[in-house]
Amino acid sequence: MERILTIESLAFGGEGVGRADGKVIFVPQTAPGDEVRVKILSDHGKYERAEVLEVVRKSPDRVDPECSVFGHCGGCQWQHVSYDAQLHWKQEILAGTLRRVGRIQDPKILPIIAASNPWNYRRRIQLKVDHQGRIGFYGQKSHDVVEFDQCRIADNLLNEKLLQIRGDAEAPEVGFELSLNGSSVVHVLEERNGEAIFSQVNPQQNDHLIKTALDFAFGNADKAFTKKKSVVELYAGAGNFSFPLAERAGKITCVEENAEAVRIAEEAAESRHLDHMTWVQGSAEWGLKKIYRNRETQNSIDVLVLDPPRRGAKEILDLVCVIRPRVIVYVSCDPVTLARDLNLLVRRHYVLDQVQPVDMFPQTYHIESVSRLTLRSESSLVESGGD
């Protein structure tokens, strides 16, 4: 079945959204304002999925993609949308998700922090190699390897290194990662065993993310005051937030499941003589229980910092509501799980003060954000029936 649609908005996931006959229709590679002729691919009751057959009238926000394999490669979804429009719709998607999923009325969302350069920002890329020796990224919703001349969102040094690898007679037969360490490219074969240590790929935007987390944790207070603060960080990784937090906190306990990440972080803490910093190796839930059972830290957490994976932090929120840290700083890479978790916290003991989106991944639909929640006063807890 074919339809003519006007695309009204963008959805988390990257697709354009149109409506016809009371149904929402999701259409990839469209921009709000496009008038398109589409073919319906599947009907899911309240919504349908379609593909573009023809762009009848282009949106003012539509631009020509800069990558020759855009639409086939799975790395980018929005190269056809102007950067200003990308920022606008990320802000709208985040706000709409907090209202719809989180049931949070009028969330205070600060203007998104744009990337100074929305191209060539990635300092780490993971490449796949198929049985024919082709090197590239997986395709859209497939495990087919899509080759490319250069990745327009990867640092040029990574593209140059990939060109050398392709020309090597002994090119890798398995997937591999390229990352920048200063101006040097590190080439690591894909790990078949063990979990990789997560690291941010956009250093400039990561700086904004860290600054926001620090501002939300400590405000404008000077170090003499913040040195009295007790901080707990869950899902700490190898210390992306931990070490900046340690510079301001009086005591900080960091929980991370990946043993290698903890080893690296502990060595760094020792070399910096951060005696007030403690690392706990284990799951966030197990680590928080251990901290709670320690009488010295029980009921004395001033700031709790969370940076969970995409699935969110659902497993630890009941215990968080028992411990009741005074401030929660929640770093999220997924608006849906963020909204779900904020809903629970706001229904129980917390007020959502503000949310700061940061555009870590231009040309994609991904939305990074930092939220600040504060504990409601004891009187308001009694009035609201909080436990």
Residue, of 181 and 210, whose pLDDT is higher: 210
For residue 9, what pLDDT band results from cuts at 50, 70 and 90?
very high
pLDDT at 181 (0 to 100)? 87
- pLDDT in the model for residue 196: 54
- Comparing 166 with 256, which gets the higher pLDDT? 256
Tell me what pLDDT residue 167 has. Answer: 85
Contact at 8 Å (CB) between 341 and 309?
no
- Residue 379: pLDDT band with limits 50, 70, 90: very low
| Res 384 pLDDT > 50 | no
CATH topology of domain 100-113+202-384: Rossmann fold (3.40.50)
Strand 230-234 and strand 2-6: the pairing is unpaired
Does residue 76 carry a catalytic annotation? no
Domain ranges of the chain: 1-62, 100-113+202-384, 124-189
pLDDT band at 299 (very low <50, low <70, confident <90, very high): low
Residue 174 CA neighbour count, 13 Å, CB half: 6
Task: Please compute the mean of the pLDDT values over residues 52-68 and round it to a whole number.
Answer: 97
Instruction: Give residue-wise pLDDT tens across range 127-163.
Output: 999 999 999 999 988 899 999 999 999 999 999 999 9
List % helix, strand, coil for the chain (3-state, nearest 5).
30, 30, 45
List of residues 6+ apart from 85 with CB closer than 8 A = 31, 32, 61
* 43's tokens: 């009907």
* pLDDT confidence bin for 38, thresholds 50/70/90: very high
CA distances from 242 to 117, 261, 262, 267 (A): 27, 12, 11, 13
More confident residue, 234 or 172: 234
Q: What is the pLDDT of residue 226?
A: 81
pLDDT > 90? residue 195: no
Q: Average model confidence (pLDDT) for the chain?
A: 92
Q: What is the pLDDT of residue 199?
A: 65
Lowest mean pLDDT among 206-210, 293-297, 335-339: 293-297
pLDDT at 241 over 90: yes
Give mean pLDDT, residues 216-242: 90
Q: Which of 67, 76, 254, 333 is catalytic?
A: 333
CATH superfamily of 1-62: Nucleic acid-binding proteins (2.40.50.140)
CA atoms lying within 13 Å on the CB side of residue 374: 10
Supply the pLDDT for residue 295.
Answer: 61
Mean pLDDT of the region 234-241: 95
Look at residue 385 and tell me whether its pLDDT is greater than 50. no
**Mean pLDDT calculated for residue range 77-90:** 98
* Burial readout 6-31 (b: 16 or more C-beta within 10 A, e: otherwise): bbebbebebbbbbeeeeebbbbbbbb
Mean pLDDT, range 362-386, rounded to an integer: 77
Share of the chain above pLDDT 90, in %: 82
% of the chain beyond a pLDDT of 70: 94
Task: Report the b/e string of 77-100 with b at 16+ CB within 10 A.
Answer: bbbbbebebbbbbbbebbbbbbee
Residue 207's pLDDT band (cuts 50, 70, 90): very high
